[in-house]
Structure 1
Amino acid sequence: MMETAGPAQLLDAAQWIEPVEASPREPGNRPGFLLRRSFEVDGDVLSAVVSATAHGIYELFLNGTRVGDEELTPGFTAYRKRLQVHSFDVTHLLVPGENVLGAILTDGWFRGRHGFERRADGFGTRTALLAALHVDDGDGTRIAVATDGSWMSRTGHITRADLMDGQAVDFRLLNEGWCSPGASSDAWTAASLGLGDLYQDRNRLVAPIAPPVRRIEELRPVSTTTPRPGTAVVDFGQNINGWIRLSELGPEGTRLVLTHGEWVDDDGFISTDHLRAFDFATHELLPAGQVDDVISAGRDGDVFEPRHTTHGFQYVQVDGLRGDLDPDTIRAVVVHSDLEPVGEFECSDPRLQALHEAVRWSFRDNACDIPTDCPQRERSGFTGDWQVFLPTAALLYDVETFSEKWLADLRADQSVDGRVPTVTPNPAGDGPSGNAFEDLATGSAGWGDAAVIVPWELWRAYGDLGVLRRSLPSMCGWVDYAARSAAEGRHPDRAAARPSPAPHEQFLWDTGFHFGEWLEPGVPPRPDPAADHGIVATAFLARSARLLARVSALLGRADLEARYSGIADGARSAWQAEYVTADGRLTEESQANYVRGLAFGLLDPFHTVRAADRLVDLIEANGGRLGTGFLSTGQLLQVLADTGRLATAYSVLTSTGVPSWLEMLDRGATTIWEWWDGVDGGTARGSLNHYSKGAVVSFLYTHVAGIRLPENPAPDSAAYCAVTIAPQPGGGITWARASVRTRRGRVASAWSIDDEAFRLEVEIPDGTAATVVLPDGRRHVSEPGTHRFRIYSPTEEVRPQQ
């Protein structure tokens, strides 16, 4: 029963309970609550499983021992429609006679401060717990204990807990036996039953499908400084997501304050001003948060490890020390979804290896149950970020179920008119939030297109038609919304200049709010609904409609294939008519617009050549550096290489100065920055941990090493059933190797160049058909196994070697 029952069945006998909270404190300063219930176990127990979920973040304890090793449960979902139920085997923790099941409950994402404007109570105003423990004593499964009105509640040693603001612990308030048999009942009060429609809806209870969040590793300090007496600043050498573990807390009453940050100022103190967001209405700066504090009980063995918050940081400043900080007593704990690594890359240029690792770390730090934009300032599941980065993430880690969980929330949050919110899970769900800017931003091109692009890229990488079937209504909803917006609106400036609309304008999406090509170097952002972002939005309409037509064909929906092919053709023609001149130039010239036109196949062959030439001209005019923004930077190098401009691609990849990837590393980056000049003259700007620009790493796999999936895979070629190995050496690299562990097995490419020859070794798993394309253009169809090739000179025959 316990193995086959669904989440709702496992918790059928349980009732929602709320901790006693007469008058909630202000957001960010709310305590953690303790909940407990004693119960009896008679006789032998063959197995015992506890299942639980919460409005908030919970940790379970049984007889004083923490249950499981998962963090931040039940995770972050669209709570009104999807709430995860986790189950844990606790057979080994039960004892004959009296047992105690307990929980620590804090605000978490449910009612904690969240997002850019750090608003609280996004999903509700009360925290609550739902749990049941099932035991099998050989005569069948029964419920040993479940949450109900007999549970007891009180505050405890966690005096403040918020995912963004931080956590405070007073060890003087800790009763170590609070969840052990025989514990005192003093100061405990009966918990309240949770009442209301949301509590009654058990259909929203779902089983988790993605890997849980866990403590992944610990980092030791690389240096410790003392900028003033009583203060230590610890550098862990790597920007991470997680928390600090501190084992020396000082004499009783010592209060230590830990401030987490990504940079230090010229005086050696933590700098957090660059992480401060602002209120959109008033432009008032908001606190940066990320501050923990702990008060010591002077008790041996107490360890401060704030598991009800997370921080994005490389440095921590410890204030309140009564002596020197012993580096052996402090560790940085790396916390994120326990994803399986699949990709490896190395080459002769150590700068590119460092870039690869910075991107890997940036993704790890932003994979905390959902794909976030940054682990410190917002921690939101921005739709645009994930559609941009997913293909790269799939080369680094197995992100299939991680992404499918998030997609389920996107579908839950999608409006009935098809619009997709900027972030998901979205506190407003599928309705208005009441915040003017947030509601205005819903439906932005390039962000909402995640509804189509994310399932498509999952199909390419993992080959499950199920994700396309589950997402089809959402995909149709988004493209229908975009196409309807294009047909029903005209930008006022265009209408003034051309009173009678041209026929192609029914597919020209030039109205509504769009972020546009966000954060182009030197171009101020234009989050303004009056701005004309038609060249971006129409391109994405064409792209998503084309992908949806392909999905429809894969699912046998000829009617939908015809409909969305027509929209794709119309949007492509509209983009050409409005933005492409007779000589192949764009009417709105930018690197980003040329990249998008080339990457999305919006240009005819004649114009493709001219556009690629013009893209190179713009790069050269920019000092040989990129000028793309958020949406197109990850496609820049591939477009250059695939249009025969490989030397330019490598030149941009290895350039320095601002803007460039290597300049970030030269200035001390260990993760990818939000702004290209994220640190300038010792002053930080914006988040120093945004992975979207790290999409460049896909080029290292697909072009430097040459491991490529089909762009438009059929059912027998998705998920590396078919693969092309086509390395394109350049940039002075003398050797490179990469591998990806796929659903078929390991695909690998390793090459080297010396004075005598180009040598290539490929590894092809069973079930994969491979085409090897050598740098001189010669092709070889390779069966599964390991194959070696040499090119002695451009005129000699390619010699495959088994």
Structure 2
Amino acid sequence: MKFVKAQPIWPAGLETAMNITGGFRAQLMDASGNLPESCLVRVTASARYRLYVNGIFVGHGPAAGPHGYYRVDEWNFVNDEYATGRPSIVAIEVAGYNVNSFYTLDQPSFVQAEVLVDGVVVAATGITGAGGFETFVLPERVQKVQRYSFQRPFMEAYRLTPGVHQWRVNSTAAPAPAVDAAVAEQKRLLPRGVSKPEFGLAMPAAVVARGAVTQRDEAVEPWRDRAISDIGPLLKGFPVDQLELLPTDELGQLQTSWQEHYEQKLSRELHLEQHGAAIFEFDCNRTGFIGMTFRCEEHSRIALTFDEILTDGDVNHLRLECSNVIYLECRPGAYDFETIEPYTLKYLKVVALEGSFAMMNCTIREYANPDADRAGFSCSSDSLGAIFEAARESFRQNAVDNFTDCPSRERAGWLCDSFFAARVEADLTGDNVLEHNFFENFLLPERFADIPEGMLPMCYPADHYDGTFIPNWALWFIIQLEEFAARGGDEQLIASLQPRVEALLRYFDDFRNEFGLLENLESWVFIEWSKANDFVKGINFPSNMLYAGALEAAARLYGEETYYDDAAMVKQMIRELSYDGSFYVDQAMEDAGGVLEVTDNRTEVCQYYAAFFGIADPQEQNDWYMSLVNDFSPIRGAGEPLLADISGIHPANAFIGYYLRMELLSQLGLAKQLLAEIEAFFSVMAERTGTLWEHNRTTASCNHGFASHVVRSLYRDGLGIASVDRKARSLAIAFMDTGLEWCSGKQPTPDGPIELDWRVEGDELHYRLIVPQGYAVTIENYSGKQLVSEQ
């Protein structure tokens, strides 16, 4: 990927300034001075850009790339049907942050763009005079504001004046005096690599509350999250005493009283007088750019706050420990406003802090994966069907250009999360382009700053100035890489990653003790959000189980026999030390005399690690397996008596415990129980937010990418598509005893979709299967019914 003429530019002297928004505009004409019929815009930037042609929104980007590399987007004005009419003005807005985060990288701001007509460049950044881009520092966005969160850069606050966006459509209008642009050093460029996002507009379903805000009777202690209080060299931003405004402080001193009997309907125009408030509800949790068309008759200040759920009937904009606030200060006039950053919400609260205004329209311009609708699933359980759609929705919002944990407070590409999300990409889209980008991002940097040699960042692309990493989480990189290979992943990319894998495993050599087990790992050793995280010092057995699995995966990937030998030794030592005759213990520690003592700390998730990584044997430890199946569940204690005394086993949480449990039940062929547990655990999430949650409660994100892995369970254990080998062009069908009356699904592949439908009629299971041409099929029947093909 390369540019023909464009150079990377930025307003001179501001390349490393924090939170500067640049505006760049080109007037289009051909050699005869006429407007073109069509154009293609090629663009990349640091950090985030949005593109307008003739004042109409075209796109947002770029896709996530590693340090020192930038992915280039191409937007075809005609073929992609963004707008009608001849292209006249191309306007690009770029938010340059220059702070470390888990979402955008701390790299100097720039934009590089060119416009082509019939393959000929007619405008490009870095050209002066005709055929160049005018450069502005857009004044409306307030620079010195608080960070949005610890994991993301700045919140959005604006001072708007009438005609603030006229420069996008009128070449004689200027948002501010034009400034000189400095040309930066040449950038290393990459193709986008993944589909361009879906930008559909979603409207609220209803106005669910009207009321008014008043000052609290007693002052409230100001909210001082680490994103405000810990600003310094390790977390860049503006210190509190430099902030131009702090909207969360003002909102913290307000309370809202709601009308008792508000009629839930969406009027065409909503008027809010001073101190008025209203809450809009969207059909489900959505991610995108918040937009509002409104009119102010007087100087007004408006706060938009939002969240995924209502808390005590109101929007708690701090629930996720981030500042879910958009602040607008407006002079009298009409505005068509939209955020430059994507946010996640089901509920939007609008408050007239000062003055009054009339809202004509409110939208979310979605920012989502466009390929997730290639698949389909339905069955006789409406709840399971709704859970599938919630999983699809969670995936499409967390798989735009990277596998993100959540599309809200972090937008971070975490290892381990990516293992589960990558499976879903294959199931829902039939492809692995996101996964290719994911691994390419880890491949290209020469080294990863601020973490030990050989170690991989816990999430990437991201900056980790505080030196924190999750050593055991890096092992999931190898586990996922093996599955990437099985999914038909780029063989050259996999081969190129061998030095990364070998360096990672060499890092762990220094932590192996006399038993060959990892002991006293550095930094943040993470098992899951449960009591298991308290037992990570000394020898942590779940981490060693994962280590054994990674060694075996590396051996299979690269044919290194010593990895097999090491894995076998680690697994055997775990069996000897960790299993106490009933359950696997999480931890062993040396006493004051240096003698190793196995503790009695036992967790549910440790048992699932043992099953997933082949430490336990289903034949030899049948009682142990049956105890996991019968005595544990994500809904245990919800009414049904436990079959054994497991009071000494600390319960698991959703991630990764319950997801490993789903794999356990599938391994044992217990499809009926698995579907029942899925329905019991996820149905509330699907009903309440239309997305699936980070935890088993609403204390954290209600839209998490890994949770979409339930798609894999529904296809495999519900529908019966047990496995698909895209490289060998084969698939295995396994009909199970599911308890369902019928099931239907479509799963895409690069060669065409797999379509399977079945229904139970008495003692018979009637099915219809359509596969891509040339695919070999094996069918196994564990349903207890006689199979009847209706081909």
Change (3 A) 1:390 1:532: farther
- Per-residue CA deviation, residues 79-127 of structure 1 (Å, 9 max, x unaligned), is x33201223446899999x9765432212xx535734xx9xx9423x42
* TM alignment of 1:568-717, pairs within 5 A: 568-581=567-580, 583=581, 585-588=583-586, 589-604=602-617, 606-619=619-632, 622-623=636-637, 627-646=652-671, 648-655=673-680, 660-665=681-686, 668-678=688-698, 685-709=699-723, 717=725
1:123 aligned to 2:106? yes
Structure 1 unaligned segments of length 5 or more: list them: 1-5, 277-286, 491-500, 553-559, 679-684, 711-716, 778-789, 792-797
SS at 1:356 equivalent: helix
**Following superposition of structure 1 onto structure 2, how do residues 10-21 of structure 1 map, counting pairs within 5 Å?**
10-11=3-4, 13-20=5-12
1:178 aligned residue (159, 163, 167): 167
Aligned residue in 2 for 1:547:
553
Matches within 5 A, 1:8-47: 10-11=3-4, 13-20=5-12, 30=19, 32-36=21-25, 41-43=30-32
- TM value normalised by structure 1: 0.76
| 1:511 equivalenced with 2:547 (yes/no) | no
Distance in 2 (alpha carbons) for counterparts of 1:253 and 1:269:
26
1:271 is matched with: 316
Counterparts of 1:253 and 1:58, CA distance in 2: 29
Question: 1:763 and 2:770 equivalent?
Answer: yes
**1:70 is matched with which residue?**
59
The aligned counterpart of 1:441 is: 469
State the Cα deviation string for residues 609-661 of structure 1 (Å, max 9, x = none): 34312322541794369835523422312322422545543443344xxxx33
**1:265–1:271: 8 Å Cα contact kept in structure 2?**
yes
AA in 2 matched with 1:238:
C
Q: Which residue in the other structure is 2:73 paired with? A: 86
CA distance in 2, matches of 1:175, 1:329: 18
Judged with a 3 Å threshold, the aligned counterparts in structure 2 of structure 1 residues 590 and 104 are, in CA distance, closer, same or farther, namely same
Residues in 2 aligned to 1:91 and 1:570: alpha-carbon distance in whole angstroms: 61
The CA deviation at 1:347 is 1.6
In 2, the alpha carbon distance for the partners of 1:186 and 1:441 equals 43
Counterpart code for 1:638: E
**Cα gap change, 1:385 to 1:100, in 2 (>3 Å):** same
Q: Structure 1: how far apart are the matches of 2:659 and 2:728?
A: 21
Residue 775 (1) aligns with residue 782 (2): yes
Give aligned-pair identity as a percent: 17
| Corresponding residue pairs, total | 682
Aligned partners of 1:48 and 1:134 also within 8 Å: yes
Root-mean-square deviation (CA, aligned residues, Å) is: 3.6
Following TM superposition, by how much is the alpha carbon of 1:727 offset from its aligned partner in structure 2, in angstroms?
2.4
Match of 1:257 among 303, 308, 327: 303
Deviation at 1:385, TM superposition (A): 1.2
SS in 2 for 1:214: coil
The aligned counterpart of 1:313 is 345
Name the structure 1 match of 2:251. none
Q: 1:477 to 1:347 in 2, by over 3 A?
A: same
1:242-271 CA distance string (max 9 Å, x none): 1323223333534332112122232x3311
- What's 2:47 paired with? 56
Q: Partner residue of 1:304?
A: 337
Superposed CA deviations along residues 522-575 of structure 1, whole A, max 9, x for unmatched, are x2744x9x62463122222222222223223xxxxxxx3424333333333333
Scaled by the length of structure 2, what TM-score is found? Answer: 0.77
What is the distance in 2 between the residues matched to 1:482 and 1:49? 46
Q: Whole-Å Cα distance in 1 between the matches of residues 709 and 121 of structure 2? A: 51
Whether the 8 Å CA contact 1:32–1:155 is kept in 2: the answer is yes
Cα distance, 1:346 vs. partner?
1.2
> How far apart are the structure 1 equivalents of 2:667 and 2:504?
32
Distance across 1 between alignment mates of 2:540 and 2:460: 25
**Residue 682 of structure 1 aligns with which residue?**
none
Opposite residue 709 of structure 2, the aligned amino acid is A
Q: What is aligned with 1:391?
A: 423
After TM superposition, give the deviation of residue 702 of structure 1 in Å.
Answer: 0.4
1:409 partner SS:
helix
Contact 2:718/2:736 (8 A) holds in 1: yes
Q: Which residue of structure 2 lines up, in the alignment, with residue 419 of structure 1?
A: 455
2:95 aligns with 106
Contact 1:170 1:294 in 2 (8 A): yes
Question: Secondary structure of 1:377's partner?
Answer: coil
Secondary structure, aligned partner of 1:367: coil
Change (3 A) 1:342 1:175: closer
Equivalent residues in 2 for 1:318-333 (5 A)? Answer: 318-320=350-352, 329-333=361-365
**Aligned-partner residue type, residue 595 of structure 1:** Y
Judge conservation of contact 1:459–1:719 (CA < 8 Å) in 2.
no
Q: How far 1:580 moved relative to its partner?
A: 3.3
Secondary structure at the counterpart of residue 767 of structure 1: coil
* CA distance, structure 1, for counterparts of residue 174 and residue 309 of structure 2: 47
Q: Paired residue for 1:221, among 194, 205, 215?
A: 205
Matched, 1:457 2:483: yes
Relative to structure 1, the CA distance from residue 366 to residue 39 in structure 2 (aligned partners, 3 Å threshold; closer, same or farther) is closer
The answer on whether the counterparts of 1:219 and 1:332 sit within 8 Å (CA) in structure 2 is: yes
The 1:562/1:23 distance shift into structure 2, 3 A limit, reads: closer
Unaligned runs of 5+ residues in structure 2 are: 213-274, 587-601, 643-650
1:75 maps to amino acid: A
CA distance in 2, matches of 1:388, 1:566: 27
1-side partners of 2:689 and 2:171: how far apart? 53
